[in-house]
Amino acid sequence: MADNITLEIARYSPEQDAKPHFESFQVPVHKEWVVLDALNHIKDKLDGSLTYRWSCRMGICGSCGMMVNGEPKLTCATFLSSYVRNGNKIRVEPLRYFPVVRDLVTELTDFLAKLKKVRPWLIRRDDLRPTEGEFLQTPGQLDAYKQFSMCINCTLCYAACPVVGLDPIFVGPAAIALAQRYNKDSRDQGADERMAVLAHPEGVWGCTFVGECTRVCPKHVDPAGAIQQYKLSAVLDWMKAFVKPRGHQAVRRESAND
């Protein structure tokens, strides 16, 4: 294995730069090192001003997402050794389609607002107290939504989705997957409340099934699958409404911008 590897890192400091530029650093290659270890080595020993987010370094907190050679990746789970074979150079940039605050740090307020829009909490019409026991849920019912509950909010899917890049108001893969996590939870009764945001041109109908979100997801959540499933169920609901109109549960067409 080669001794050193070159990291080309996007640098941007709004106080000095009008736009990002690249800086190169030489980093020693160890078999166990991931790209995050290389970034830490640079920050500790070479240039303390290199700025990036990280926390758990085990792929569960979702902080360390970055573009590595043009692919959205969690840098704590991307090994240097795989790049040594492929040309010995690694290009590290902030996640695509997000505003850049500094170096490799992106701005996430928009993303969090989209998560909140889909009402990602358990909605119930009754008021059962905890002391009255748990809601029963069989392992089969748990499996129906379990995959969608694995999302770590790393936003790699937003960096992979061209619709997010071209249409900033599109709700996005992770938010819709999270909505489906609750819609398919047997304990939840709030699918109607989420419909206005989801069955909307900036909701699921904004998705053109590019499928990149599912390919890059590090936790195999399959947001593309979640979106297509919702499209199918939205269409079926729409057809059923002709046969048996639901009266007070009629869909409210609200703007996606509230």
Partner 1 sequence: MPICALIRAAPSGTAASGESMDGSSHDVLLVGGGGAGLRAAIAAAEVNPKLRIAVVSKVYPMRSHTVSAEGGAAGVVKPDDSLDEHAYDTISGGDWLCDQDAVEAFVKEAPEELLRLEHWGCPWSREPDGHIAVRAFGGMKKRRTWFAADKTGFHMLHTLFQTTLKYEPITRYDEWFVTKLLVDDGRVQGVVAIELMSGRIQAITAKAVILCTGGCGRVFPFTTNANIKNGDGMALAYRAGAPLKDMEFVQYHPTGLPFTGILITEAARAEGGYMLNKDGYRYLQDYNLGKPEPKPVLRSMELGPRDRLSQAFVKEDQKGRTIPTPYGSVVHLDLRHLGEKIINAKLPFVRELCLKYQNIDPVKELVPVRPVVHYMMGGVSTDINGTTPLAGLYAAGEVACVSINGANRLGSNSLPECLVFGARAGQAAAQFAAEQKAPDGKTVAQAIDEQRRLETQFLRKTGGWERIAILREQMQKSVESGAGIYREERSVTEASNTLRELQERFANISLDDHSRTFNTELQSALELGFMLDVAESIVQCALSRTESRGAHQRTDFPARDDQNFLAHSVVYRQADGSSRVEYLPVKITRWAPGERVYGEQTKEQPQALPVRRAS
Partner 2 sequence: MNQPTIKAAPTYTEFHPRWYRPHVSVYWWLGQWQYLKFILRELSSVAVAVFVVITLFQLRALRNGPEAYARFQHWLQTPLAIALNTVSFLFVVFHTITWFNLAPSAMPIRFRGKRLPDLLLAAPNYIVWAVVSFAVAWLILR
Q: Which residue ranges make up the site for partner 2 (CB under 8 A)? A: 12, 14, 19-20, 70, 96-97, 99-101, 107, 109-110, 112-113, 116, 139-140, 143-144, 162, 165-166, 208-212, 215, 222, 224-225, 228-229, 231-232, 257
- Beta strands 71-74; 65-68: pairing state: antiparallel
Q: How far apart are CA 77 and CA 124, in angstroms?
A: 38
The nearer residue to partner 2, 1 or 112, going by C-beta atoms, is 112
Q: Does 222 engage in binding with partner 1 (CB under 8 A)?
A: no
The nearer residue to partner 1, 92 or 163, going by C-beta atoms, is 92
Q: How far apart are CA 223 and CA 209, in angstroms?
A: 10
Find the helix or strand (DSSP H, E) in which 74 lies: strand 71-74
Size of the site for partner 1 (CB under 8 A): 61
CB of 173 vs partner 1, minimal distance in Å: 17
Class of residue 180 by CB neighbours under 10 A (exposed 0-12, middle 13-18, buried 19+): buried
Task: Identify whether the C-beta of residue 124 lies closer than 8 Å to the C-beta of residue 130.
Answer: no
- Return the closest-CA partner of residue 126 out of 53, 60, 190, 207: 190
The nearer residue to partner 1, 24 or 55, going by C-beta atoms, is 55
The nearer residue to partner 2, 40 or 78, going by C-beta atoms, is 78
Q: Which amino acid is at 14?
A: P
Taking contact as CB under 8 A, which single stretch among the options 87-95, 132-140, 195-203, 229-237 is the one that binds partner 1? 132-140
Q: How far apart are CA 216 and CA 25, in angstroms?
A: 27
Q: Does 189 engage in binding with partner 1 (CB under 8 A)?
A: no
User: Would you state the structure tokens that stand for residue 8, as one six-digit string?
Assistant: 């080309």
**Among partner 2, partner 1, none, partner that 146 touches (CB below 5 to 8 angstroms by kind):** partner 1
Q: How many helices (H) and strands (E) does the chain have?
A: 10, 7
Residues that bind partner 1 (CB under 8 A): 13-16, 32, 43-45, 47-49, 51-63, 77, 101-103, 105, 107-108, 112, 115-116, 119-122, 128, 130-131, 133-139, 141-142, 145-146, 149-150, 152-153, 178, 182, 185, 187-188
